[in-house]
Amino acid sequence: MDNTYTKERIIMHIDMDAFFASIEQRDKPWLKGKPIAISNIPEERSVVATASYEARKFDIHSAMPVKIARKLCPDLIIIKTDIDKYRKESSKLLSIFNKFCPAVEQTSIDEAFFDLTYTVKNFDDAKDFAIKLKEFIYNSLHLPLTIGISYNKLLAKLASKLGKPNGLKIIKPEDADKILEPLPVGKISGIGKQTERILKEKFNVRTLGELKKIPLLKLASVFHSQAVFLYNAARGIDNSKVISDYEKGNPKSIGNSITLRADTDDEEYIKSTLKYLSEKVGLRIRVYHLYAKTITIVVRYKDFSTFTHRKTLSKAINSNYEIYIHALMLLKTIWKGKKIRLLGISLSNFKDHIERGLFDKEDNLQTLEDVLDRLKMRFGNKAADYGSVILVKTKGMI
């Protein structure tokens, strides 16, 4: 007889509400209650990094061109990204997290998972824990956040999504099916617009309950390796562990991918998406104070065929602009003009310093803004913009 006792997992997910925008509204009281968007370069040809909830009421979202955002909301206020400030706030958050729980996995600058399995007694105790942590963070940093609690990471993140903004939601095992089944499939992180569309076209599936009825082999015939994730997600299954920074040390790789809203061969749209991804991975690598010597891009086409291309650089990088330029060069070598459904960038082979040559000067290490300004002066405004989706065809990739 096996007397091993396995305690039910209790996982908590914290997601800061419109993190960058909330910081700016806190630091500039006149912005409170107003629609604002954060953008790396606050010009018409830039893209939105994040938007306040006041702006989201106008359907403004991340990666949207500022030009389109202004049309949706003429009163929109554009604030220039202050990466150093946001990174400092993220460090403060992690410090608070580690005081409350030893098992914390920070997954991005404004998100983290907690494994509370051996920190609290049950879900009611977890709720009390979350309320105290939420109040402590708000009193310390004056920033809103949402907390989700469940028995695995997938559902804890779903709970925080359902609880937004500034909420607290718990999905207990006995309630999971009732909560999951009526939800649109897109509510699950990892199921994007394209997957939603294909599920509807191929299987007439709109909800997680309908997805649950599709056999794994049928899903595999269309989605290949992604089928297992879809099959498990519909059932609320996720066995991944919370891995603290202490356990994993510095990451071996840092990457982001995005499924496009529609399969496209529009060059400007693809380039602007690549710029958006460059900014995302650039921010994440700078959080760890690392530099990457290897860059990889992933391209998935309309037919789900997937290709990767990797390059080891002569000099380690961590600026958004350098990441974008190298990613664009890699894309140029493998993209044959077919319609793309997913793009991804990942960085690896990390160094904790820049390797400089014998004659390199110390003052060559500029802030991101300085680099962009210098490139603009040398090559013109277009060279350093985080471009928008301009629906005009161009002839060359660069």
The catalytic position among 24, 105, 111, 279 is: 111
Three-state SS sequence of 168-229: EEECCHHHHHHHHCCCEHHHCCCCCHHHHHHHHHHHCCCEHHHHHCCCHHHHHHHHCCHHHH
Q: Nearest to residue 66, comparing CAs of 82, 45, 40, 36?
A: 45
Catalytic site residue 111? Answer: yes
b/e 78-94 (16+ beta carbons within 10 angstroms → b):
bbebebeebeebbeebb
- Give me the helices (H) in the chain, please: 19-27, 53-56, 66-72, 83-100, 123-141, 153-163, 176-180, 193-203, 208-212, 216-223, 226-234, 245-248, 267-287, 320-334, 368-379
Sort strands 111-115 and 77-80 into parallel, antiparallel or unpaired.
unpaired
Residues that are catalytic: 111
